[in-house]
Amino acid sequence: MAEKAKKSSKLTPTRAENFPEWYQAVVKAADLAEMKHVRGCMVIRPWGLGMWEQIRRRFDEVIGELGVENVYFPLFIPLSYIQKEADHVAGFAKEMAVVTHHRLELDEAGQLVPAAPLNEPVVVRPTSETIIGESMKGWIDSYRDLPMLLNQWANVVRWEMRPRVFLRTTEFLWQEGHTAHETEAGALAESLQMHEVYRELAATWLAIPVIPGEKPASERFPGAERSFTIEAMMQDGKAVQAGTSHFLGQNFAKSADIAFSDRDGGRSLVWTTSWGISTRLVGAVVMVHGDDDGLRVPPLVAPSQVVLVPIARGGEDDARVLEACREMKRELETRSMKPGVTLRVRVDARDRRSVDRRWEWVRKGAPVVIEVGARDLDQGTVSAIRRDDLENRVEISIGDLSAALPALLEDIQASLLAQATTDLERRIRYDVVDLAGFEAHFEEPDAAFVVAPWCSSPECETVAADRWSVSIRCIPFDRAGEAGPCVICGVAGESAVWGRSY
């Protein structure tokens, strides 16, 4: 019996059996999203979008405190705007969706065909540096207008060859911050500050430990002088770039001529930055925290943190049990896990067997599921299932619920971060020092990150990429000083994080 229950709770396949397929199974089983209707595009379902909305809420709060204001720019960008920055064009040209017509007509066969070509085709934004730059040009006259700190929440389109739900989709949701500064130092400081915001968001809210660092030239954002990244390691050892922040120098200022009257009475170009996180983060949550029973959502970003499952037996008790659940919900919602973030509690009273409802929430990764029946009410206690420890139910007296739950959720949040951190620290390798060791390590399909010196030559990057599909994820900030012989060629270099990536 127990064996049967245990066996059937597992997803097919398990992580060990086939990680990529497991990932897709979780996304489906947890009702996060579907790839449907259009190749590479997602239908994001409430439980998946809800996570993104929590991320969004938190991020808006943080950038609001930093003085960033939200704006919205058009989905379409004139081709002429895109054309202005050479590196930018080169970087995005291959994946741009282009709108060339503005009408459909029926042909002789009764098929709808595009008609009425546009004078100037427009592209669907792959990112908005160019169009926002064109506006900033008009909004910035003086150094007194700086810094200008803008952000937008938007969808963008990059026509990808190989889509993966959440991780790499043709259309995705993101925020893109765009700032303009009087000085180089101001812009650089901004990009580093946002980079740190991302690191903190990943660790604290998503319970994902990341390696902050700088991208090598080969992985820089098209048009950027410097790109900073937070790199997360999935359970299969592969990297996900979980957030990026770019110091754009004056590249976009030049191409859009964003100039201002400076303090000396002269004319200067602004220095700009851009930074973004996307719905990819939802995929990272799945791949970092998921287990063979399904998803595990960190409480701070869970659309519902506590799910109350009333047990109905078709008798007189049902109404009493349901009302008790509603009362618990009301009371729990007066409490907070973090200041200002009141608990999100759901009563799942759908007409389903209680066990089915419970397992559905386990699959979806709700942090805490509490079943409530008449017997519990009589005894004055309920038993809670915490998603990070399914084996051990937690007995809580009903009177203590609202006091106990914030702490329980904090504990779950902390334990998810601790597990992910332990996994990263246990698997990341600092002892790979030469090509033989490098090869031996990356022959394993689930090989984790290697931290080892790199001589800074593109040739060595190419060797790693061609032979093992390994790239330099970043030059980490915290070990940047450690020098040594390049792990590929032996020439002196500085420490880099090597790994396969999504």
Partner RNA sequence: CGGGGAGUAGCGCAGCUCGGUAGCGCACCUGCUUUGGGAGCAGGAGGCCGCGGGUUCAAAUCCCGUCUCCCCGACCA
Residue bearing tokens 């009177």: 399
What is the helix (H) or strand (E) element at residue 423, kind and residue range? Answer: helix 401-427
- Span interacting with RNA, options 103-111, 185-193, 251-259, 347-355, rule CB under 7 A: 347-355
Instruction: Examine residue 57 and tell whether it contacts RNA (CB under 7 A).
Output: no
Q: Site for RNA (CB under 7 A): which residue of 15, 58, 125, 158?
A: 158
Draw the binding track, 242-281, toward RNA (x: CB under 7 A; -: no contact). --x-------------------------------x-xxx-
**Residues 231/213, Cβ–Cβ less than 8 Å:** yes
Residue 371 engages RNA in binding (rule: CB under 7 A): yes
Site mask, RNA, residues 35-54, x = CB under 7 A? x---xx--------------
Q: What is the dihedral of CA 347, 352, 357, 358, to 10 degrees?
A: 100
What residues from 205 to 224 belong to the interface with RNA (CB under 7 A)?
A: 219, 221-222
CA distance 140 to 180: 9
In this chain, which stretch among 140-148, 349-357, 452-460, 479-487 interacts with RNA, using CB under 7 A? 349-357
Residue among 43, 83, 353, 492 that touches RNA (CB under 7 A):
353
Name the E strands within 202-359.
210-214, 226-233, 239-247, 259-261, 267-269, 271-278, 306-310, 336-338, 341-342, 345-347
Q: Does 237 bind RNA (CB under 7 A)?
A: no
Six-digit token string for 106: 């029926």
- Distance (Å, rounded) from C-alpha 166 to C-alpha 43? 10
Output the smallest distance, CB 230 to RNA, in A. 10
Nearest to 472 by CA among 453, 485, 446, 489: 453
Q: Which of 14, 354, 415, 419 binds RNA (CB under 7 A)?
A: 354
Residue of 247, 252, 271, 359 interacting with RNA (CB under 7 A): 359
Map tokens 């349901």 to a residue.
322
Cα separation of the two ends of the chain: 40
Residue 348 binds RNA, judged by CB under 7 A: no
The DSSP H or E segment spanning 303 is: none
Q: Of 257, 327, 356, 400, which lies in the binding site for RNA, with binding defined by CB under 7 A?
A: 356
Nearest distance from residue 450's CB to RNA, in Å? 16
Instruction: Kindly provide the residue ranges of all beta strands, DSSP E only, lying in 94-133, ordered along the sequence.
Output: 98-106, 112-124
Residue 89, burial from CB neighbour count under 10 angstroms (0-12, 13-18, 19+) = middle
Shorter beta-carbon distance to RNA: residue 140 or 448: 448
Binding span for RNA by CB under 7 A among 259-267, 322-330, 376-384, 480-488: 376-384
Q: How far is CA 239 from the centre of its chain?
A: 12
Among 5, 66, 407, 492, binds RNA (CB under 7 A): 5
Question: Can residue 469 be called a binding residue for RNA (CB under 7 A)?
Answer: yes
What CA–CA distance (Å, rounded) separates 372 from 473?
Answer: 48
Q: How far is the CB of 421 from RNA (least distance, A)?
A: 21
* Cα–Cα distance list, 146 to 61, 182, 259 (Å): 22, 6, 11
Task: Give the C-alpha separation, 447 to 391, whole Å.
Answer: 30
Supply the minimum distance, in Å, between the C-beta of residue 81 and RNA.
19
**Among residues 16, 20, 61, 399, the one that binds RNA under rule CB under 7 A:** 20
Phi, psi dihedrals of residue 162, rounded to the nearest 5°: -130, 90
Q: Is 170 in the site for RNA (CB under 7 A)?
A: yes
Q: Is 199 in the site for RNA (CB under 7 A)?
A: no
**Least distance to RNA from the beta carbon of 265, Å?**
39
Query: Who contacts 384 (Cβ-Cβ below 8 Å, separation ≥6)?
Result: 368, 369, 370, 393, 394, 395, 396, 408
Q: Which is nearer to RNA, 261 or 381 (CB)?
A: 381
Binding mask 84-123 for RNA (x = CB under 7 A): -------x--xx----------------------------
Torsional sign, CA 397, 401, 407, 411: positive
CB nearer to RNA: pick between 105 and 356 = 356
Rounded to a whole number of angstroms, the minimum distance from the CB of residue 439 to RNA is: 15
Give the interface with RNA as residue ranges (CB under 7 A). Answer: 1, 5, 8-9, 12, 20-21, 24, 35, 39-40, 91, 94-95, 158, 160-164, 167-170, 172, 219, 221-222, 229, 241, 244, 276, 278-280, 293, 311, 313-314, 351-356, 358-359, 362, 371-377, 382-383, 393, 465, 469, 500-502
